[in-house]
Amino acid sequence: QSALTQPASVSGSPGQSITISCTGTSSDVGTYNAVSWYQQHPGKAPKLMIYDVNKRPSGVSNRFSGSKSGNTASLTISGLQAEDEADYYCSSYTSSITYVFGTGTKVTVL
């Protein structure tokens, strides 16, 4: 199974909005609403930010939102803050009863 495709890096100024894309196939993102997003700060374990395409776990800021169209899912961070600077990974359930992660995106706050 191939990793989902994400841009290597995305940047924005404080207060701006950025969007990270996550492109898969009809065997994963395109078929299942089982897309989730994870934030990882250096040296730390990943943290769940979005699940089921667009749901936020308790405690996650409403500045984070998710969506999906066809084989591509997206994570939008609005009102960008310095603390949002981190690596972000998408994940999807697949038709092979497995999971696949995205290639990862480094978010830089300018």
Partner 1 sequence: QVQLQESGPGLVKPSETLSLTCAVSGDSISSTHWWSWVRQPPGKGLEWIGEIFHSGITHYNPSLKSRVTISVDNSKSQFSLRLTPVTAADTAVYYCLRTYCDYTSCFYFDSWGQGTLVTVSS
Question: What is d(CA 30, CA 70) in angstroms, rounded to the nearest whole number?
Answer: 5
Number of residues that bind partner 1 (CB under 8 A): 26
Find the shortest distance in angstroms from Cβ 15 to partner 1.
Answer: 29
DSSP, residue by residue, 13-33: -TT--EEEEEE--TTTTTT-S
17 or 94: CB nearest partner 1: 94
CB of 35 to partner 1, least distance (A): 9
For Cα atoms 19, 56, 20, give the angle at the middle one, nearest 5 degrees. Answer: 15
Exactly one of 15, 17, 99, 108 binds partner 1 (CB under 8 A); that residue is 99
Restricted to residues 34-63, the positions that interact with partner 1 (CB under 8 A) are: 34, 36, 38, 45-48, 51-52, 55, 57
DSSP reduced 3-state for 85: coil
